[in-house]
Structure formats: C-alpha cells, structure tokens
C-alpha cells in the first residue's frame, strides 16, 4: 500500500474520531450564538475545572491547505564545536537588553552558516522570541519558563537566557522547527536546532474548526477530576508523530493545520495538539 496514502487515511480517521468526540461530549450547540461567545465558553469550561481567559481564545479560523515540508540535516556537534571558537564581549549584567541577545544570536547564525541551510532563514530574525529560563544542575535541561526573573539574581541556580527562532510561514509556526541559542552570563553556550523546510502548499484549501471547538475536544480528552489552566491556544502546522515519524534528513512529509493548546496542571506543563480540519 502506498505509504503517503496510508498516512492520509490514518489522519482522516483521527479527524473523524475528533468529530465524534465533539458530538458526544460537547454540551454546546456549535451553530449557536452562545457557542461563539468566548466568555460563555470560558465559564462553561470553568465548570469542568478548565480555566482559560476568554481573551486568549482566537476569534478567527480560515480554510487552509496542507503544507509539504522537508527535514533538514543539522550537524549539532559541528555547529556547537564552531560556536566555542566565536569570541563574545557581552554587556555587563545590569545592562543586558533583549536586543543584545537577539543581536548576538543573529551573529552566531550568520557566522556558523545556519542562514544558508534554508532560504527561509534569511527572515529568521523577524521571528525571534526571547525568554529567560532557569537551569538545573544537571546541564542544559529546561525546568520552567521564568520570564520575570532578573538575570544573575536567581537563588535556585544559574539563570539562563534563550533566544528561539521560530519557523513561520503564512503567519503560522511550523511545530518542531526552530533554532534555539542558550546563553549564560551573556555568552552563547549551546545551539539546539530542528528544521522542517517549507516546500509548498497543497493547491486545495479545506475548512478548519474554530479554537472554541478545539477547546471542547480538549475537554473530551482529559480526566474530569483534573484542574487545568490553559496558557495559550494557537493555530500551527504540525506533523502528528503518533502517526508520522520525522524520518531521516531529506525526507519529505505533510504538515497539517492543528490547534496547539499549552496548559499547566498542578506543577506540570503540558501541550495538546488538535487536528484542525472539519468533518
């Protein structure tokens, strides 16, 4: 059987399952004005121990095509070895601004030749997102985002800054496609990179479900006893790795529109992806 066709059938089966869950568990009438009222939806979800600010629920969705992507080969050992040879003179701790980190990260990408690996890299600085994170003693593992923690003042351990370059096409991020630079004391110490190069869109666009419908699907998937705090919900392009493995470098695959929901449950952070095509 043709593998691409098989994957498409599996994706379709999951979407049909999502549609069943919506009908089975959704207490809202999807065509009603009540359903379109995000404040009412937020109140309804709160009754189910899911708390979300109505203001962060996207109000629009659109017809979208699938996106064909190619997995690029990145030699992490070579990149990080070369990184150690770059000399940096960071600003003093009290004078470091986000712009300093982004400028240093841009320089690293240029000097290491990462901007030449894919045409989309030429616009990479426009998609930079900066955040500060705590680092545990085991190494570069991320513990928890801590955007408000001043550099050099964290008593629990070393405070690290990371600059993330997202791969964005048509206004949406491609999931698991990014370059991340980690800094300590203003100096870049490590680069992590995964990159799915966008090749082209399919010529057919299909309707997608709304963010509100995605939240109801999320409700149907979790245990009722859990208390969930939703941090964000956004439309992305996504390879469903429960069906499609991100294979060897150079492999071409299909990314589908999906709603990405990030949340906190007690002290644990989580993420859920909801296929966005309507059925």
Per-residue confidence in pLDDT tens, the chain, 279 aa:
444 444 444 444 444 444 444 444 444 444 444 445 788 899 999 988 899 999 999 988 899 999 999 888 778 888 888 888 888 888 777 777 788 888 888 888 877 777 655 444 545 666 677 766 544 433 333 333 333 333 444 444 566 788 888 888 888 889 988 888 888 878 888 888 888 888 899 999 999 999 999 999 998 888 766 789 999 999 999 988 765 555 566 778 899 999 999 998 766 778 999 999 976
Among 205, 211, 195, CA closest to 170: 205
Q: Give pLDDT, residue 125.
A: 60
* DSSP-derived secondary structure letter, 206: B
Residue 207: strand, helix, or coil: coil
Q: Give pLDDT, residue 248.
A: 62
Between CA 161 and CA 58 the distance in angstroms is 29
If residue 70 lies in a helix (H) or strand (E), which one and from where to where? Answer: strand 67-71
Confidence (pTM)? 0.73
């Amino acid at each position: 059987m043709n593998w691409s066709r098989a994957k498409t059938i599996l994706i379709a089966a999951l979407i049909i399952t999502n549609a069943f869950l919506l009908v089975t568990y959704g207490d809202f009438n999807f065509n009603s004005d009540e359903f379109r009222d995000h404040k009412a939806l937020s109140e309804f979800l709160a009754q189910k121990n899911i708390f979300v600010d109505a203001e962060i629920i996207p109000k629009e969705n659109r017809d979208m095509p699938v996106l064909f992507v190619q997995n690029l080969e990145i030699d992490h050992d070579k990149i990080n070895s070369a990184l150690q040879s770059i000399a940096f003179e960071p600003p003093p701790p009290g004078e470091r601004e986000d712009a300093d980190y982004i400028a240093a990260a841009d320089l690293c990408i240029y000097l290491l030749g990462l901007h030449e690996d894919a045409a989309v890299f030429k616009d990479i600085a426009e998609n930079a997102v900066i955040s500060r994170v705590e680092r545990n003693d085991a190494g570069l593992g991320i513990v928890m985002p801590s955007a408000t923690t001043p550099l050099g003042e964290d008593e629990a351990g070393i405070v690290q800054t990371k600059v993330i370059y997202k791969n964005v096409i048509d206004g949406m991020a491609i999931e698991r496609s990014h370059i991340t630079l980690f800094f300590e004391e203003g100096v870049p110490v490590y680069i992590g990179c995964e990159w799915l190069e966008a090749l082209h869109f399919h010529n057919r666009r299909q309707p997608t479900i709304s963010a509100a419908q995605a939240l109801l699907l999320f409700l149907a998937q979790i245990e009722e006893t859990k208390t969930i705090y939703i941090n964000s919900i956004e439309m992305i392009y996504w390879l469903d790795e429960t069906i499609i493995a991100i294979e060897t470098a150079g492999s071409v695959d299909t990314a589908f529109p999906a709603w990405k929901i990030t949340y906190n449950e007690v002290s644990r952070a989580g993420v859920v992806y909801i296929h966005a095509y309507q059925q």
